[in-house]
Structure formats: C-alpha cells, structure tokens
C-alpha cells in the first residue's frame, strides 16, 4: 500500500482550517506546552495547509525556521496562499523520504500523519536521520479506540504503544505517551547520540 492510499484527500483541504477544528485542538496552546523553542529549526511533518505550521512559526520566531513538509503540491499551494511568515519554508517530499540533510533540524512535529506512512520503520529512520543529536520529536495521532469517527478509518490507525516500540527500537530515548483525549494521543521522544557529517 502506498502513502497516497492512506493520505488525506487534498480536495478536502479547506476543512483543515475550520473554526471547529481550531476549537477542538487549540494548536497554539498545545504546541506551547511542548518542547519547541525560540530559534529552533522545526520540521512540520505532513503540514497540510498550515494548521500547526503557523503556530510553530510563532514559537520559533524569525530567528528560527519551520520546514513545512507535505507530499501534496495542492496542500503546499494552500499554505503559501495564507502568506506564512518568512521563517516558514514549504518542502515537497514523498514520505517516508524526508528531503532534508542529516542532522538538520532541532525538532519534529508530526500531527495526524504517522498512520498514513508505510513502512513506518522507514519514516522513523528518516526522522532520526534529520534530527540533530539531542533533538526532540512529538507525534500526535488518532486513537484506534477513539470515541468519535472523525479522522481516518479505524483500521488505518496505530496504537500509541506500537509507535513507542518502533521509536525505542530505532534508538530514540525517553519515549512515552504524555497526553491523550478521547480521540487522539501524544507521544514524545528524544534523539541522542553522535552523528556523522552525512558527507
């Protein structure tokens, strides 16, 4: 199964910026409680139209950078139409490949995208590759036992413990589920160890 068999339909992209979605997830408030900081370089994995990208840009400020990655040109065009600040850099990349150099970002944010990508192991290897030593990773995704049916088919969803096992197997540390509500969960992790220059 390819990424596009599971990925969000770009034709539905306007729903991603709805007031209802804003009220449900409170993106600025949620992100401000996590490990993103002023001046960081952050990868927004599966950025869509920028629902999480723009709050991330506020957090890292003009001295930081947000790589807004999506597999869909239509999604990135919609993001550009919103006139994001200069620290936002759209990036078209076909997951699980992340088209960035090794050890090039401080943090990764992946909201509602992990369940779409197969094989998951390849994506985790790529996330580890682009993170700098000491880098921070946060994954927000749908619970397979969610109370509501909004989101992807239940059969496509991944339990948090499966993601935790994959991250630990890849060498991520301090991996844990740190939050959940009735529909989603948050997994956080850190990437330690020395890395080569990638040359």
Q: What is the pTM of this model?
A: 0.89
- CA 59 from chain centre, in angstroms, equals 15
Phi and psi of 160, rounded to 5°? -60, -35
**Per-residue DSSP letter, 9:** P
Domain count, the chain: 1
188, β-bridge pairs: 138, 176
43 part of a folded domain: yes
Half-sphere exposure for 131 (CA within 13 Å, toward CB): 25
**Are 51 and 80 a contacting pair, CB within 8 Å?**
no
Report the Cα–Cα distance between both ends of the chain, in Å, rounded.
32
pLDDT 10s digit of each residue in the chain, 199 long? 344 444 545 556 555 668 888 999 999 999 999 999 999 999 999 999 999 999 999 999 999 999 999 999 999 999 999 999 999 999 999 999 999 999 999 999 999 999 999 999 999 999 999 999 999 999 999 999 999 998 999 999 999 999 999 999 999 999 999 999 999 999 999 998 654 433 3
71 part of a folded domain: yes
* Proportion of the chain above pLDDT 90, given as a percent: 84
Tell how strand 65-70 and strand 88-92 pair up: parallel
110 part of a folded domain: yes
**Are 185 and 140 a contacting pair, CB within 8 Å?**
yes
CATH number of domain containing 4: 3.40.50.150
182 part of a folded domain: no
55 part of a folded domain: yes
112 part of a folded domain: yes
What is the span of the domain harbouring residue 117?
1-8+28-93+103-138
Residue 96 tokens read as 């699980």
Half-sphere exposure for 144 (CA within 13 Å, toward CB): 11
54 part of a folded domain: yes
Residue 170 tokens read as 């890849």
Q: How far apart are CA 27 and CA 109, in angstroms?
A: 12
* Residue 174 φ/ψ region, left for φ over 0, alpha for ψ in the -120 to 50 degree band, beta for the rest: left
* Residue 188 φ/ψ region, left for φ over 0, alpha for ψ in the -120 to 50 degree band, beta for the rest: beta
Phi and psi of 159, rounded to 5°? -70, 150
Residue 198 tokens read as 């990638």
59 part of a folded domain: yes
Q: What local confidence, expressed as pLDDT, does residue 138 receive?
A: 98
Q: What local confidence, expressed as pLDDT, does residue 20 receive?
A: 86
Q: What local confidence, expressed as pLDDT, does residue 198 receive?
A: 35
Instruction: Identify the CA nearest to 78 among candidates 155, 150, 1, 13.
Output: 13
Q: What local confidence, expressed as pLDDT, does residue 12 receive?
A: 61
């Amino acid at each position: 199964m390819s990424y596009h068999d599971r990925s969000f339909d770009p034709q539905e992209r306007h729903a991603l910026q709805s007031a209802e979605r804003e009220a449900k997830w409170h993106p600025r408030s949620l992100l401000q409680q996590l490990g993103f900081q002023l001046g960081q370089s952050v990868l927004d994995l599966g950025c869509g139209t920028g629902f999480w990208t723009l709050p991330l840009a506020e957090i890292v400020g003009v001295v930081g950078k947000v790589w807004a990655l999506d597999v869909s040109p239509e999604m990135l065009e919609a993001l550009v139409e919103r006139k994001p600040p200069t620290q936002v850099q759209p990036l078209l990349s076909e997951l699980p490949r992340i088209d960035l150099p090794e050890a090039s970002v401080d943090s990764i944010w992946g909201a509602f995208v992990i369940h779409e990508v197969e094989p998951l192991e390849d994506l985790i290897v790529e996330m580890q590759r682009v993170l700098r030593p000491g880098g921070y990773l946060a994954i927000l995704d749908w619970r397979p036992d969610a109370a509501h049916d909004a989101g992807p088919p239940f059969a496509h969803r991944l339990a948090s413990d499966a993601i935790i096992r994959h991250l630990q197997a890849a060498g991520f540390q301090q991996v844990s589920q740190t939050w959940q509500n009735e529909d989603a969960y948050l997994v956080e992790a850190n990437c330690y160890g020395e890395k080569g220059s990638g040359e």
